[in-house]
Structure 1
Amino acid sequence: MACLCYLRCVRKLWAPAQASQRLKVANLHRSVHQLQHKKVMAEEKPWALISEVGEQGYLEEMADIIKPHFHIISHKDFQQNPQLHGPKIQALLLWNGFPVVEPSLLGLLPSLKVVANGGVGIDHLDVPYINSLGVKVTNTPGVVSNATADIGMALLLASARKVVEGHQVAVDPKTTHIPQCLMGVEVSESTLGIIGMGHIGYKIAQRGKGFDMKILYHNRSRRSVEDEQAVGATYCENMDDLLKESDFVMLAVNLTPETTGLISHRQLSLMKPTATLVNVSRGLVVDQDALVKALQSGTIRAAALDVTYPEPLPRDHPLLGLPNVLITPHVGTNTLTTSLKMVQQMVDNAVAAVKGLTAPNEVKPK
């Protein structure tokens, strides 16, 4: 009887320890299962080719958006052994046009499903050829509009009010007085002519309205009456009319065969001698030789450019030496907020394409 009581007592004392041990074993099994699941998920994660992570490519914050969805390999590392890496790459993520999408590169990527471009312009991509390989092309419209419109207005204002020249005078150790040559031109209530009234052009019009500017625009197709009324814009079916009347001409078109050289000698000659040309589209939209002559001769007052051709310009290019030219190095989308949004959209497009789903922003050849 005493032995039986002893056994019951031992069991009662041992039961919590057994339960604790079983819980530990269960937790261990769960942890092992989770690790195995994560390992499987990591192995299933597709590969993407990028330019690089660093100053010439993706900032760390941008790369962190890509990494949960793709194994990434830089173009430099890829080139070390393309035969090893090429077959596993399913997505090519382009930032600032790199890596350059050439047939020689595409030929090394037999599993490629998508070329996801960061930005709206796809003039650097042969979309029909890429599609012929069974590869989709995507871009990132919409998210770049505000930042690009901002740089357009920043260039317009800086040129009109001689902001850069003013800064140079203000910090020059020899400055003892403010010269009258810093006299600028009025922006408020002037006439802004926008060539290209898509997402970006319309955002520019909104900003122009804030300065009480008269808004003219030329586009392949006319915007709705509601759109026009919202920003106080007037449609010019003939671009020549816009050029003749505008104090500031803002270019916000995509680069196509039709828009290449859109602004040349004849178009510049139609502009007011007090007018300023602002370009936030692509360098090739403007005949730069014609622009140099127009600026040197006083055909137009000034030019403010976020884009040139090539980029950067040769250091001896005449545009760099003209006092009535303001140039920024294609920084229209260069804000961290916009860049992160662009990368997220690139990833969303690429993930959909790799899974065989409809890519949200697929570009179709025209």
Structure 2
Amino acid sequence: MAKVLCVLYDDPVDGHPTNYARDDLPTIPDYSDGQKLPSPKGIDFTPGHLLGSVSGELGVRPYLEGLGHELVVTSDKDGPDSVFERELADAEIVISQPFWPAYLTPERIAKAPNLKLAVTAGIGSDHVDLQAAIEGGVTVAEVTFCNSISVAEHVVMMILSQVRNYLPSHQIVLDGGWNIADAVSRSYDLEGMHVGTVAAGRIGLAVLRRLAPFDVHLHYTDRHRLPAELEAELGLTWHASTDEMVPHLDVVTINAPLHPETEGLFGDKLLGTMKRGAYLINTARAKIADRDAIVRALESGQLAGYAGDVWYPQPAPADHPWRTMPHHGMTPHISGSSLSAQARYAAGTREILESYFEGTPIRDEYLIVDGGALAGTGAHSYSTAK
């Protein structure tokens, strides 16, 4: 019998929903690049229901208990007295989401001699110390592409919200006002602006595709240059580095994974090279940006706005300066956890578990670490400390 330790975010304040705003989800045949959707042999949940919170359990309890395994689900994940810390010692599998990550540090991995598999229900496995996983023989897998479009849609929403000054304008209505001049004094058209993405993988490319109809000038930088025909189709300008690209842009969106090459990338130096009044959108990982440098750039006017939904740590403390800095559009980490995305990442988690327990290979595109090395998507997207 295996112990499966699953860390999920808390239920809604009024309890797990008994009804939903919509009755169904659109049918999506496959992902845009041809990758197949998650294809488990079975599911024990209703697509469109809340699966990512504690009571939702990602829909895996009937499957795991039917095989005789133990499932422990908790939201209590931080600190030496947390449920996660207590249960980790004999866990064989840990499941976590990027939105409420169970940080698997080298110290925690060392305390978990039975740990064989760490599953990210979603994409982005930087809450697992990948070098420690490599050295400890732990397989790391995630449900690649499951919520990439969800995040891309969120990015476009945040860009428009910042450039058009939507949130303060909406607040005027909530406050009973009609202050048109106040609302439009920071409102611009996106049309004609230069917009670029740091990384053009699944999310970054999806953002570029969605922005093309807005008649903007599109830029990107990525360690893997896109095909020339795709650059021509979308009118993309490629830059060899982030440093080279950002001085030309009105809007920068970060869509890169967190690893040693990207951690702290947007600090005072890089922010100082951006156009005064540029906007920065970060739905990737908070530590790609220097927390206090972002605050300084907004307070000085170097940045006109910052929006994102990634924080460090997660959940962010009540006194985190990003909650109160000027001209921000921060949300809790929700961009990849829509009910639509949850149906896909719950199904993908079930597929990974089926492969593990049946002794069949986990899909290559799901793998981040395997066999003591970066593997699959991990080998393409991540780097480890040298």
Normalising by structure 1, we get a TM-score of 0.77
Farther off after superposition, 141-150 or 130-139: 130-139
Spell out, residue by residue over 1:127-175, the C-alpha distance to the aligned partner (whole angstroms, 9 max, x if none): 34334444311012111110111111111111111111111111213x2
Residue 363 (structure 1) aligned with residue 378 (structure 2): no
Deviation at 1:274, TM superposition (A): 2.5
Cα distance between partner residues in 2 of 1:288 and 1:106: 27
Counterpart of 1:274?
277
Spell out, residue by residue over 1:218-271, the C-alpha distance to the aligned partner (whole angstroms, 9 max, x if none): 111211113323322111114333211111011111111110111112211221
Q: Alpha carbons of 1:176 and 1:195: their partners in 2 closer, same or farther (altered >3 Å)?
A: closer
In structure 2, list runs of 5 or more residues that go unmatched: 13-51, 77-81, 375-382
Deviation at 1:189, TM superposition (A): 2.7
Spell out, residue by residue over 1:47-80, the C-alpha distance to the aligned partner (whole angstroms, 9 max, x if none): 422125851863655532453245422357x959
Residue 199 (structure 1) aligned with residue 199 (structure 2): no
Counterpart of 1:48?
4
Give secondary structure in 1 for the equivalent of 2:188.
coil
Residue 73 (structure 1) aligned with residue 72 (structure 2): yes
Normalising by structure 2, we get a TM-score of 0.73
Greater helix content: 1
| Matching of residues 106-117 of structure 1 within 5 Å | 106=109, 111-117=114-120
Counterpart of 1:63?
58
Structure of higher CA gyration radius: 1
Contact 1:191/1:215 (8 A) holds in 2? yes
Counterpart of 1:8?
none
Cα distance between partner residues in 1 of 2:113 and 2:240: 47
Contact 2:8/2:100 (8 A) holds in 1? no
Cα distance between partner residues in 2 of 1:354 and 1:103: 25
Residue 293 (structure 1) aligned with residue 288 (structure 2): no
Farther off after superposition, 132-141 or 57-66: 57-66
| Matching of residues 1-366 of structure 1 within 5 Å | 47-51=3-7, 55=11, 58=53, 60-61=55-56, 63-70=58-65, 71=69, 72-75=71-74, 89-95=91-97, 96-102=99-105, 106=109, 111-173=114-176, 175-183=177-185, 184-360=187-363, 361-364=366-369, 365=374, 366=383
Deviation at 1:112, TM superposition (A): 4.0
Q: Which amino acid aligns with 1:67?
A: P
Q: Alpha carbons of 1:324 and 1:82: their partners in 2 closer, same or farther (altered >3 Å)?
A: closer
Contact 1:136/1:353 (8 A) holds in 2? no
Give secondary structure in 1 for the equivalent of 2:237.
strand
Contact 1:66/1:343 (8 A) holds in 2? no
Contact 1:118/1:140 (8 A) holds in 2? yes
Q: Alpha carbons of 1:238 and 1:120: their partners in 2 closer, same or farther (altered >3 Å)?
A: same
Cα distance between partner residues in 2 of 1:320 and 1:63: 30
Cα distance between partner residues in 2 of 1:191 and 1:332: 23
RMSD between aligned residues: 3.0
Number of aligned positions between the proteins: 319
Q: Alpha carbons of 1:64 and 1:53: their partners in 2 closer, same or farther (altered >3 Å)?
A: farther
Q: Which amino acid aligns with 1:48?
A: V
In structure 1, list runs of 5 or more residues that go unmatched: 1-43
Which fold has the larger relative contact order, with Cα–Cα distance below 8 Å and residues 6 or more apart in sequence? 2
